[in-house]
Amino acid sequence: MTSFRVLVAIVAGLALITVPAKADNNDVFNFAINLECLESQFYQYAAYGEFRNASLLAGGPPAQGGKKALLSAGVQTIAAEFARDETAHLAFLRKVAGAAAVPCPQIDLVNSFPAVIKAALGSRAGNSNFSPYDNDVNFLLSAFLFEDVGATAFAGAVPVLVGGVAQGAAAGIGGVEAYHGGLLRQWLFENGDIIVQPFGIQVVSFVQALSDLRAKVGGGKDEGITIPAADASFYGPDILEFFQANIVPADSDAKIFARTPQEVLAIVYGGNANQPGGFFPAGLNGSIK
């Protein structure tokens, strides 16, 4: 497929990562392929205990540490649907990038999650470990880490891409990521008083800690699932009654946040856009890495 040409607008933050002054749409698609390699494998392992589409790795290594999650029937359906969606995204991006598509990079699904949780909770994490595969709550908290980032990454990609077809593709994928994020945020809010074990922290506070961490390393542009209730009469004995739902993270104009590649890399690398780590211990493949 003949690639479109695009002059990438180099903003201050992008100067910190390897982005050529000129790139084509395939550079952007390849950046997205790396993210979809992560999401597709995470959800397939959680739902099925294996990655069923090995050809989509395109010669890259399978993710390390993935396994079947211990999920209720209801959450299993969420994992399976998200797995289908993210795998379809990966297949589509490979199709549009054609021969230029990069293989999946090395992905760590075993050490990355505990590191993120410890960074988010600080001293509250204690010596406790965290696995996304132990139960519904852990799995959905882990999925929350990805979906808002995916939606903001595609929102940031739309104006960089050239041509209505490419822009429409990014907007369409980003819309599905946003649907995923909204479902997760609704579930987490409705179950916000559940205590996440063994940390002894309510879900609503756990989510806020994850959101705060993403905001700290990823250019702000993040919100938890609650905001303080404006009406004092709304307060009650249940901690969630001190808050109003914040299911939709958005800016002051109620538009989705858009992240630059630097901001996305800082999140998935574990804090530093220039130092591979976190979910991508050897970095991303492609020009934007």
The rounded percent of the chain whose pLDDT value lies above 70 is 87
Q: What would the mean pLDDT of 27-45 be, rounded to a whole number?
A: 97
219: left (phi over 0), alpha (psi -120 to 50) or beta: left
Residue 93, pLDDT above cutoff 90: yes
Residue 273 lies in a domain: no
What percent of the chain is helix, strand and coil (3-state, nearest 5)?
55, 5, 40
Distance CA 110, CA 137 (A): 17
Percent of the chain scoring above 90 in pLDDT:
76
**Beta strands 201-202 and 195-196, pairing class:** antiparallel
The whole-number average pLDDT for the span 72-87 is: 98
Domain count, the chain: 1
Question: How far apart, in Å, are the Cα atoms of 72 and each of 41, 104, 134, 139, 179?
Answer: 20, 30, 11, 11, 21
The answer, yes or no, to whether residue 233 has pLDDT greater than 70, is no
pLDDT value at 186 more than 80: yes
Determine, yes or no, domain membership for 10: yes
Structural domain that includes position 69: 5-268
- The reply to whether 40 falls in a domain is yes
d(CA 258, CA 272): 19
The per-residue pLDDT for range 237-287, each reduced to its tens digit, is 455 555 688 889 888 889 999 999 999 999 999 999 999 999 999 999 999
Contact criterion met (CB below 8 Å) for 38 and 146: yes
Cα distances (Å, whole numbers) of residue 234 to 168, 181, 186, 230: 42, 27, 20, 8
- pLDDT tens by residue, 98-114: 999 999 999 999 999 99
What does the pLDDT read at residue 175? 95
Is the residue at 277 inside a domain?
Answer: no
Residue 234 resides in a domain: yes
Q: Rounded to an integer, what distance in angstroms lies between the CA atom of residue 280 and that of residue 125?
A: 23
Q: Tell me, yes or no, whether 179 lies in a domain.
A: yes
- pLDDT mean across residues, the chain: 87
